[in-house]
Amino acid sequence: MRRTATAACGAAMALTLAACSSEVPSTAQPAVTTPSSTAVAKRPPSVTSAPPATSSAPAVTWQVGAHPLPLGPGGFGEIEPTPPELVNRALPTKDLFPPPVDGRYHATATAVPADVLARSTWQPACPVAAGDLRYLTMSFWGFDGRAHTGEMLVNAKGAAGITKVFGQLFAAHFPLEEMRVTSPAELTAPPTGDGNSTSAFVCRPARGQTSWSAHAYGLAVDVNPFCNPYTQGALVLPELASAYLDRANRRPGMVLAGDATVRAFAAIGWSWGGAWTSPTDRMHFTATGH
């Protein structure tokens, strides 16, 4: 997977993080209990069957991450028109974990396993200790009409609230394309402008700044970045998502003012970047206001 919107500014920090010690602290901590509807194991459960799909899976007509963009100002890719295949984006989800067997919402929250921490963007230079992060697994509905299992790293302070929010999104059949932990390679990969991964913790500075992003503390979540692009002046992130600037053209996966997604995050005290004027960060929910 190429660099996504949440990782687009990570290149500025890559040298700093790479220079830090790669030692991973112990994560042997008690598991965090969650308000999920059904308790499950630390890893997603084995599965023998999947719930019936509510619609047939769309044909795969676009390979995400396969089309690097020419570099533009600020290290971002050049802004290009949205490819026809992505104007009404509904790509199928590739399962990284077994989907829920019963079509119901399941969630776990534990200390971050060492192997997960190792493949994340966490480094000792990050502004949050590894022990203050939690590893979540949560059910979600894909654009393919099927239930899937995703993963996310968040600050321990927000773990219970986030599992509650995504339980509400699952109940509403709000679609997500994918939900996974951001890898270090994504911070420096050539921009492709087509990422759409819902994620939280990414150890990077705020866009266009040197100070840490709320993502670097695990206190922000980006939801369907392609369907809910970031804009500031002429900059659009992801760079191919301009078709989704027309918010009157309502399509699945979009977050709109006052909708159920905004209300669910507001109920746990998180604000929405789509209400900002410059920048306008439609994908972004934050516990810090930034």
pLDDT digits (tens, 9 = 90+) for 259-279: 999 999 999 999 999 999 999
Query: Model confidence over 47-70: pLDDT tens digits?
Result: 333 334 444 444 557 999 999 999
* 159 within a domain of the structure (yes/no): yes
CA distance 238 to 80: 10
Residues of the chain where predicted confidence (pLDDT) is lower than 70: 1-60, 206-209
Tell me what pLDDT residue 208 has: 63
* 155 within a domain of the structure (yes/no): yes
Which two three-digit tokens encode residue 194? Answer: 């087509």
Tell me what pLDDT residue 204 has: 84
* 115 within a domain of the structure (yes/no): yes
Tell me what pLDDT residue 209 has: 63
Tell me what pLDDT residue 227 has: 98
Which two three-digit tokens encode residue 180? Answer: 């996974």
Q: Which long-range contacts (CB under 8 A, 24 or more apart) does 71-74 make?
A: 71/190, 71/191, 72/239, 74/208, 74/235
CA distance 245 to 235: 12
Tell me what pLDDT residue 39 has: 37
* 19 within a domain of the structure (yes/no): no
CA distance 232 to 5: 13
Tell me what pLDDT residue 54 has: 43
* 119 within a domain of the structure (yes/no): yes
Query: Model confidence over 84-113: pLDDT tens digits?
Result: 999 999 999 999 999 999 999 999 999 999
What DSSP element (H or E) covers 236?
strand 235-237
* 136 within a domain of the structure (yes/no): yes
For residue 147, list its beta bridge partners: 141
* 53 within a domain of the structure (yes/no): no
Q: Which domain holds residue 279?
A: 5-14+31-39+103-286
Q: Which are the contacts of 247, defined by CB distance < 8 A and separation ≥ 6?
A: 254, 256
* 256 within a domain of the structure (yes/no): yes
Domain count, the chain: 1
CA distance 224 to 86: 13
